[in-house]
C-alpha cells in the first residue's frame, strides 16, 4: 500500500504493508518498504527505509523547534546510517538539508537548499504523517521545551547591552552635569570670618510681675 | 482544585471571574500542560503573544474582528468573551501603555495560542505571499520596502506598535527609533505565524514559548 502526504512544496510518499495485526477498518501501514521525500521543483529526491524516515522526522522537527525559539534542539540516534542534518545559510536566507549515508562519511551525500516556506512545507508533510494513526503508528516525535540551562548565553545582544548602555548614558549625563557646575572656590573659611562683638549684646530686663487676681 | 482569576474591573466595577475547572474547549486540550515559569519569564511570553496577534492584525485589515469571530468558532468565548476581554489579556504585555501587571493563567495563554494559530490559518494565503515576496526581494538584493505588500504590512505593524507600546520602555524606544529593526521583528513574527498554521503548528509554537524556561 502507499500513503502520500502533500503540501504546496513537498511530497512525502511511503510504501509498505500491514503486519496483519489489524483490528480497524482502515489498513494500517506498519511495515515500511520505502519512503521518498521530494521538494517540488528540486531534482534531488531523498529516499530510504524506516531509519531514514525516523531520522528525517527527528531532524526536521528539532530544527523547526530551534527556529521557533532560537534555542538549539538536538536529537540523537544510536544508528549512524541515514544521517540528516539541517543548518542555516544566512547569506542566502535559506536552510541546507544534508543527508549522508553514514554520519562520519561525506562521500555519499545529498544536499537540498530550502527556503523557509519550503522547510515549513517539509515539516507539514512530516507532521501529517505523524498524526496519521494508520501509517507507522510507532513513529515517535514529541518535542519538549528545553530546560533553563540551555538558556545561558542565549540572551540576545540587545538585551545584554541595554542595561549597560543605559548605565553608561546615566554616568555620562552625571559627569556633564557636574562639569557644568562652578567650582566652589569662593567660599570663605569660616574660621577667618570676624567674630560677632559680645560687648554689643544687650541684656533684656526681666518683665514686671503680673498683678494677682 | 479550582483556581479563579479576576481581571481588572471595568468602569462599572464588574469583575470577570473565570473558573479554571470549567470543561476546556477541545482545542485547548490539544496543548500539553506546562508549569508556568517565573513572573519575568511570563512577561516575555505575554509580550510575545501580544506581538504575534499584532502581526496578524497588520497582515489583515479588520484582523481583530476576525480574531473575535475565530474565538467564538473555537468555543473560546468562555475565556475570550469579547473585544474588551481580549484587550485585557493582551494588556499583560509589559511593553503596552495599558500594561496591567496581570499574568496570564495557563488556560488564557493556551487560548491566545489557539486563537493566533487558527487565525493564522485563515490568513494562510496573504502570509505565504508575503514570505514569498521576502525571499524574492532578498534573492534580488532589493530593499524589502520596495514591495508594495511588504511595505503595507510594515506600515500597519509600525502604526499599531507606535500607538500601543510604551515609549519609556528601553526596548520599545529602541524599536521606535530604528524602523529597520522593527521591520525585522515584524518579519520574524510572520515566519512564526507560518509555523503556527501547520498540522501540529500550535503545539510546536506552544512548546517553543517555554524553551529555556522549564526546569
First to last CA, chain A: 127
Q: Is B168 on the interface with A (CB under 8 A)?
A: no
Domain boundaries, chain B: 36-207
Q: Which of A186-195, B12-21, B29-38 has the lowest mean pLDDT?
A: B12-21
Cell of B54: 499584532
Work out the mean pLDDT of chain A and round it to a whole number.
Answer: 82
Q: Which residue of A has its CA nearest to B205?
A: A68
CA distance B78 to B19: 10
For residue A133, the distance in angstroms to the closest alpha carbon of chain B comes to 14
Is B211 at the interface with chain A, CB within 8 A? yes
Write the pLDDT tens digit of every residue in A101-152.
999 888 899 999 999 999 999 999 999 999 999 999 988 888 889 888 776 5
Question: For chain A, which residues make up each domain, given as ranges?
Answer: 2-143
Give the model's pLDDT for residue A153.
52
Partner-chain contact B198 A120, CB within 8 Å: yes
Chain A hits for B134, Cβ within 8 Å: 93
The DSSP element (H or E) to which B136 belongs, if any, is helix B124-139
Residue A39 and residue A114: Cα distance in Å, rounded? 8
Q: Is A156 on the interface with B (CB under 8 A)?
A: no
Alpha-carbon distance A12 to A57, whole Å?
Answer: 11
Q: How far apart are the C-alpha atoms of B111 and B117, rounded to whole Å?
A: 10
What average pLDDT does range B96-119 have in this prediction? 94
CATH of A2-143, one of 1.20.1440, 1.20.59, 2.30.31, 3.40.50: 2.30.31
Residue A33 CA to residue A64 CA, distance in Å, equals: 27
Q: Where are the beta strands (DSSP E) in chain A?
A: 2-7, 10-17, 31-39, 45-48, 81-89, 94-102, 105-114
B1, pLDDT greater than 80? no
- Min Cα–Cα distance to chain A from B195, Å: 7
Q: List, for residues A149-183, the tens digit of each pLDDT value.
A: 776 554 444 454 555 556 666 677 777 777 777 77
Contact B199 A151 (CB under 8 A): no
Amino acid at each position: 500500500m502507499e500513503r502520500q502526504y502533500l503540501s504546496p512544496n513537498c511530497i512525502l510518499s511511503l510504501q509498505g504493508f500491514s503486519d496483519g495485526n489489524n483490528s480497524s477498518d482502515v489498513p494500517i501501514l506498519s511495515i515500511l518498504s520505502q519512503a521518498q521525500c521530494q521538494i517540488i521543483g528540486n531534482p534531488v529526491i531523498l529516499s530510504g527505509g524506516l531509519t531514514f524516515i525516523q531520522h528525517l522526522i527527528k531532524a526536521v522537527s528539532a530544527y523547526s523547534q530551534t527556529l521557533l525559539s532560537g534555542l538549539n534542539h538536538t536529537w540523537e540516534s544510536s544508528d549512524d546510517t541515514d544521517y540528516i542534518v539541517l543548518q542555516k545559510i544566512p547569506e542566502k536566507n535559506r536552510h541546507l538539508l544534508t543527508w549522508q549515508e553514514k554520519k562520519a562519511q561525506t562521500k555519499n551525500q545529498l544536499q537540498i537548499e530550502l527556503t523557509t516556506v519550503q522547510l515549513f512545507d517539509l515539516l507539514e508533510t512530516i507532521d501529517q504523517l505523524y498524526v496519521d494513526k494508520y501509517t507507522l503508528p510507532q513513529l515517535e516525535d514529541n518535542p519538549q521545551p528545553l530546560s533553563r540551562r540551555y538558556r545561558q548565553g542565549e540572551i540576545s545582544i540587545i538585551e545584554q547591552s541595554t542595561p549597560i548602555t543605559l548605565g553608561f548614558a546615566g554616568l555620562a549625563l552625571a559627569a556633564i552635569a557636574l562639569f557644568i557646575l562652578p567650582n566652589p572656590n569662593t567660599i570663605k573659611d569660616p574660621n577667618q570670618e570676624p567674630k560677632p562683638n559680645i560687648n554689643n549684646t544687650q541684656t533684656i530686663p526681666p518683665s514686671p510681675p503680673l498683678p494677682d487676681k | 482544585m479550582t483556581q479563579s482569576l479576576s481581571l481588572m474591573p471595568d468602569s462599572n466595577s464588574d469583575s470577570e471571574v473565570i473558573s479554571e475547572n470549567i470543561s476546556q474547549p477541545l482545542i485547548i486540550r490539544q496543548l500539553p500542560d506546562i508549569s508556568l515559569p517565573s513572573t519575568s519569564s511570563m512577561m516575555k511570553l505575554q509580550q510575545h503573544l501580544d506581538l504575534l496577534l499584532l502581526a496578524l492584525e497588520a497582515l489583515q485589515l479588520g484582523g481583530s474582528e476576525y480574531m473575535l469571530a475565530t474565538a467564538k468558532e473555537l468555543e473560546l468565548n468562555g475565556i475570550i468573551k469579547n473585544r474588551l476581554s481580549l484587550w485585557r489579556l493582551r494588556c499583560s504585555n509589559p511593553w503596552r501603555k495599558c500594561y496591567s501587571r496581570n499574568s496570564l493563567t495557563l488556560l488564557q495563554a493556551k487560548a491566545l495560542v489557539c486563537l493566533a494559530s487558527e487565525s493564522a490559518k485563515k490568513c494562510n494565503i496573504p502570509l505565504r505571499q508575503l514570505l514569498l515576496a521576502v525571499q524574492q526581494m532578498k534573492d534580488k538584493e532589493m530593499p524589502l520596502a520596495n514591495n508594495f505588500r511588504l511595505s503595507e504590512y510594515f506600515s500597519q505593524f509600525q502604526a499599531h506598535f507606535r500607538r500601543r507600546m510604551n515609549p519609556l520602555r528601553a526596548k520599545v524606544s529602541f524599536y521606535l527609533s530604528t524602523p529597520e529593526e522593527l521591520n525585522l521583528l515584524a518579519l520574524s513574527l510572520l515566519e512564526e505565524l507560518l509555523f503556527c498554521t501547520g498540522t501540529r503548528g500550535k503545539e510546536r509554537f506552544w512548546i517553543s514559548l517555554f524553551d529555556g524556561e522549564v526546569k
